[in-house]
Amino acid sequence: MNALELLSVAWQGILSNRLRSALTVLGILIGIASVITLLGIGQGAKEEAESQVQALGVNLIYIRPGSVGAGGISMGKGTAPTLTYDDALAIKENCKAVKEVAAQYSQSFQVQYGEKNTMTQINATEPAYTDIRNFFADRGRFFTDQEMADTARVCVIGDTVANDLIGEENPVGKQLLIRGELFDVIGVMEKKGMTQNMDMDDQIFIPLTTGYATLFGLNTISGKTVKNILAQSIDGEDWQAQFQITNLLRLRHNIQNPELDDFMVRTQMDIMQTAQSITGVFSLLLGATAGISLLVGGIGIMNIMLVSVTERTREIGVRKALGAKYGQILSQFVIEAVLISGCGGLLGICLGVSGSSFISNVADWPTVVTPSSIVLSAVVSVAIGLFFGIYPARKAAKLDPIVALRSE
């Protein structure tokens, strides 16, 4: 028998037990659909996490101060006034792998416009902040280096602040009271949404020098302290920039033992790797869950093929008596198993892609179905047919024709 004849015989064997074959196909269908859908959810979560990290800025490096202790308990990084504005200026001047630097000092204050008021975060920073954080003014403009030097009382407000205080009017040109000090609104930032548990639209930006002069004052011991320093490395030199910043701050702070650093330097790549690690575990768990469905479907194929061998023992005996060889009987039953799993796989791929799209549109959860997941599902469905179909096929091919002919 040639390949086409074997395929025809195998197909007839499947059709002779339509309901049982359909139920077996359903098992594979559900397994493959689960794999594609759950992998799509995992891949979507991974890309969403990566986009969130990218939204933080371009080649971003965080420098945060150290911690203070209370009753022998550390209060966590960022609680000690160990970073100063002079540190930021030194990084800008001496670290060759660093492209831009923006120091920050933030604090929450009450802001008033007319009869409306709100409590929001005042972020005093430098003009380079917008390029580092990839966060720009949508209306109006951000403050300039000249306004920074002049300690100008200007501010750029977030979209949430604009809606809460000013509403439908154009905020540019209006004046706000921040802690009793009058500031001119020169711009409104683009919508950014939530980032790291913070509403990026619910804040007001002012020049750092103005913040020191009007709102924050100076630390009596260290002078112009900052809450953190943002740096932007030259493309491809994240690690070099991190190395230079770390060594410079150790020299400036007279730190001999690296374990006693009173600051923390973290690159955007560190954050990206952490996010990828978390989403990778998430994807692995989802894939393992879907794999259980495939295993159940494979066992179903083996079951139906064993039952088929038992029911068709006499048919197998007749075929062997007429000259059918071991390889032909083996091939027939293997082809049946592969056809069942292949049909289930194709239908499962269609259902999985549709299910991913449905979840993305209805549940508003990002899903990404990659070509590799589709190819993997197709290969797995065929492999399941081969793996779980070989044992029943070998059992059929090894039947003694005389014993098979005597069976009822």
In a domain, 73, yes or no: no
In a domain, 244, yes or no: no
Are residues 221 and 279 part of one domain? no
Are residues 116 and 41 part of one domain? no
**Secondary structure class of 342 (helix, strand, coil):** helix
Its sign, for the CA torsion 246, 57, 200, 40, is: negative
Are residues 213 and 158 part of one domain? yes
Measure the CA–CA gap between 1 and 164, rounded to whole angstroms. 80
Are residues 169 and 290 part of one domain? no
Are residues 282 and 218 part of one domain? no
Are residues 133 and 30 part of one domain? no
- Among residues 210, 227, 244, the one where a domain terminates is 227
Measure the CA–CA gap between 272 and 104, rounded to whole angstroms. 23
The residue with tokens 């400036």 is 252
Supply the pLDDT for residue 389: 74
- Among residues 193, 227, 261, the one where a domain terminates is 227
Indicate the burial class of 306 (C-beta count within 10 angstroms; 0-12, 13-18, 19 or more): middle
Beta-bridge partners for 120: 109
Alpha-carbon 87 to chain mean position = 34
Mean pLDDT of the chain: 80
Are residues 389 and 290 part of one domain? yes
* pLDDT tens profile 162-198: 999 998 889 999 999 998 899 999 999 999 887 666 7
Measure the CA–CA gap between 369 and 375, rounded to whole angstroms. 11
Are residues 278 and 222 part of one domain? no
Are residues 399 and 320 part of one domain? yes
H or E segment and range at residue 288: helix 268-311
Domain count, the chain: 2
In a domain, 113, yes or no: yes
In a domain, 85, yes or no: no
In a domain, 200, yes or no: yes
Q: How far is CA 29 from CA 26, 66, 143, 297, 403, in A?
A: 5, 55, 59, 8, 37
Listed as ranges, residues in the chain with pLDDT below 50 are 68-78, 220
Q: What is the CA radius of gyration of the chain?
A: 34
In a domain, 25, yes or no: yes
Which amino acid does the sequence have at 50? E
Supply the pLDDT for residue 100: 92
Supply the pLDDT for residue 71: 41
Are residues 296 and 212 part of one domain? no
In a domain, 351, yes or no: yes
Are residues 384 and 284 part of one domain? yes
What b-and-e string marks burial along 259-270, b requiring 16 or more CB atoms within 10 Å of the CB?
Answer: eeebbbbebbbe
In a domain, 61, yes or no: no
Cβ 232 vs Cβ 97: under 8 Å: no
Which residues constitute the domain of residue 153? 101-227
H or E segment and range at residue 325: none
Alpha-carbon 152 to chain mean position = 41
Measure the CA–CA gap between 320 and 326, rounded to whole angstroms. 8
- Among residues 227, 262, 292, the one where a domain terminates is 227
Measure the CA–CA gap between 199 and 189, rounded to whole angstroms. 12
H or E segment and range at residue 220: none
* pLDDT tens profile 211-269: 999 998 765 455 688 999 999 988 878 889 999 999 999 999 999 888 888 898 888 76
What 326-330 contacts at long range (C-beta under 8 Å, 24+ apart), as own/partner pairs, is: 326/397, 326/398, 327/397, 328/1, 328/6, 329/393, 329/396, 329/397, 329/399, 330/393, 330/394, 330/396, 330/397
Are residues 223 and 279 part of one domain? no
